[in-house]
Amino acid sequence: MSLDLEANIVETAYARWAPIYDAVCGPIMVPGRRAAAQAARAIGGRILEVGVGTGLSFDDYDHGTQITGIDMSAPMLEKARAKMASGRYPFVKAVHQMDAHRMTFDDATFDCVVAQFVITLVAQPEQVLCECARVVKPGGRIILVNHLYSEVGVAAVVERWAAQRTRALGLRPEFPFARLQAWAQSSENAILVERRKIAPFGLYTLVCFERTGVSAAA
Ligand SMILES: C[S@@+](CC[C@H](N)C(=O)[O-])C[C@H]1O[C@@H](n2cnc3c(N)ncnc32)[C@H](O)[C@@H]1O
């Protein structure tokens, strides 16, 4: 049986999450979100946030960046648009309702693609990674942050137990790093450049891929 989540489960789950998402998930995910945005800011320029959700990450960007967000959940995007309307985030250029498996952007549109707490939820993670590699420029980066499966120890046992019970919440606690590594090894245009646990508790892992190939500007 495939352990991948189905798109309709994710859409239903995030329609329910949207009203309470910032209060519940805001504080606990802060270290991961900040680390990913910091890595993206170091690159700067045009940044795509895949699975931008309610726009909680907007606070972590600045005028050195131009943010575009996509998400498949209309209720989550409604919250993001309300934040944009506050006028506090002029560097957030647009958010679009779009499935990360089939993005409508041209090849090599962005300097950096960021996905915070998303890759473990999408129906086909490898397809989403291929799409990220397609829309990022050669030399650009794909930055993921997530809780990844603890392959050994008590945490691994708990995550295996929780896996079947958290499906309806749109969660997948048992997603392994090995799957991301295998994608990079099979990819013709991306290499793995970083894997790092995020302080303070090492609960989240930041994974970074670089898009290979020759930049049009070179
Ligand atoms: C856990 S939330 C993370 C939101 C945000 N990145 C954050 O850190 O707060 C996951 C988000 O991914 C979105 N998502 C899941 N599958 C998606 C897909 N195939 N395409 C676009 N967005 C997707 C969900 O709708 C949800 O808003």
14: pLDDT strictly greater than 70: yes
> Would you say the CB of residue 116 lies under 6 angstroms from ligand 1?
yes
Q: What is the mean pLDDT of the chain?
A: 89
* pLDDT (mean) for 122-126: 94
> What class has domain 7-211?
alpha beta
Tokens of 1: 């049986």
Distance 62 CA to ligand 1 centre (A): 22
Contact (CB, 8 A) for 110 and 68: yes
pLDDT band (50, 70, 90) for residue 25: confident
User: How many angstroms separate the CA atoms of 118 and 98, rounded?
Assistant: 14
In the predicted model, is pLDDT for residue 51 greater than 80?
A: yes
- Give percent above pLDDT 90 in the chain: 72
163 or 15, greater pLDDT: 15
Binning pLDDT at 50, 70 and 90, where does residue 1 land? very low
Phi, psi torsion values for 212, nearest 5 degrees: -90, 175
Q: Average pLDDT, stretch 137-162? A: 77
Mutate to test the pocket of ligand 1, among 5, 6, 10 (most ligand atoms within 8 A of CB): 10
Q: What is the pLDDT of residue 172?
A: 62
Q: State the closest ligand 1 atom to the C-alpha of 26, by its place in the atom list counted from 1.
A: 9
CA 76 to ligand 1 center in whole angstroms: 8
Using an 8 Å Cβ cutoff, are 74 and 14 in contact?
no
Q: What is the pLDDT of residue 149?
A: 73
CA of 99 to the centre of ligand 1 (A): 10
Q: Which atom of ligand 1 approaches the CA of 56 most closely?
A: 9
Task: Check residue 60 and report its DSSP letter.
Answer: G
Is 51 near ligand 1, meaning CB less than 6 Å away? Answer: yes
pTM, two decimals, is: 0.89
Q: Give the pLDDT confidence score for residue 102 in this predicted structure.
A: 97
Mutation test residue for ligand 1: of 34, 72, 103, 113, the one with most atoms within 8 Å of CB: 72
Torsion of CA 55, 106, 127, 177, to 10 degrees: -60
Is 103 close to ligand 1, i.e. is its CB under 6 Å away?
no
Residues 4-29 have a mean pLDDT of 86
Look at 28-32, 70-74, 179-183, 188-192 and tell me which has the smallest mean pLDDT: 28-32
Q: What is the pLDDT of residue 218?
A: 47
CA dist 112 and 179 (Å) reads 21
Q: Is the pLDDT of residue 2 over 50?
A: no
Please state at what angle helix 21-28 crosses helix 30-43, rounded to 10 degrees.
Answer: 80
Give me ligand 1 centre to Cα 71, in Å: 6
- Where are the chain's structural domains? 7-211
Q: Order of strands, edge to edge, in the sheet holding 205-211?
A: 92-97, 65-71, 45-50, 110-116, 136-146, 205-211, 190-197
Distance from Cα 170 to the centre of ligand 1, integer Å: 10
